[in-house]
Amino acid sequence: MNKSIAVTNKKSIMKKIGFFLAVIMAWNICNAQSPVGKWKKLSHVSTYEGQKFDSQQALLKQRPCAEKIIWEINADASFRLNAANSGCDERYKKIQQKMYSETKWKLEGNKFMVSATNFVVGQTYLISFAGNKMTWVGTEGQGTIVYQKL
């Protein structure tokens, strides 16, 4: 084979590979999932004295209405618990919603932070997505929380 043809073929192949990698990177960036939306909490698994427990499942045994609570992660950086249509009693709804009335969120890379004190104090989680599920893994022992997008 002619040496100049071989060099031309290699350059062509390298350009195609570079273009393909650029397309994959652009696709990943465009399809990066955002936490913004309405979510249902599926589980909150923590460890206490060496034993794992799911506080969300324990809550649902006491208050089945909590299954209809919606967690709203809004584009304005607010993070709200919405119990309006849960069917829970009014007192419970008011208390729960008040607890999250000032909570804000921010995302830095894969670190998702929530705080009710403008990030003077707060909690940090490593966030990941798989299909319509979002998982938070606490960086300070808060356990693992799994949400499902509505």
Instruction: Please check whether residues 44 and 73 belong to one and the same domain.
Output: yes
H-helix or E-strand spanning residue 90: helix 90-99
Q: Which of 5-14, 48-57, 78-87, 102-111 has the lowest mean pLDDT?
A: 5-14
DSSP track, the chain = --HHHHHHHHHHHHHHHHHHHHHHHHHHHHT-----EEEEEEEEEEEETTEEEEHHHHHHHH-GGGGG-EEEE-TTSBEEEE-TTS---HHHHHHHHHHTTT-EEEEETTEEEEESSTTSS-EEEEEEEETTEEEEEESSS--EEEEEE-
Domain that holds residue 60: 37-149
Query: Which pLDDT belongs to residue 16?
Result: 61
* Number of domains within the chain: 2
Q: Which of 18-32, 108-122, 133-147 has the lowest mean pLDDT?
A: 18-32
Q: What is the mean pLDDT of residues 53-64?
A: 97
In one letter, which amino acid is 15? Answer: K
Q: What is the mean pLDDT of residues 121-142?
A: 97
Instruction: Please check whether residues 71 and 90 belong to one and the same domain.
Output: yes
Query: Which pLDDT belongs to residue 47?
Result: 93
Partners of 108 in the β-ladder: 111
Q: What is the mean pLDDT of residues 37-54?
A: 96
Instruction: Please check whether residues 9 and 66 belong to one and the same domain.
Output: no
Query: Which pLDDT belongs to residue 19?
Result: 53
Confidence of residue 33 (pLDDT cuts 50, 70, 90): confident
Instruction: Please check whether residues 13 and 86 belong to one and the same domain.
Output: no
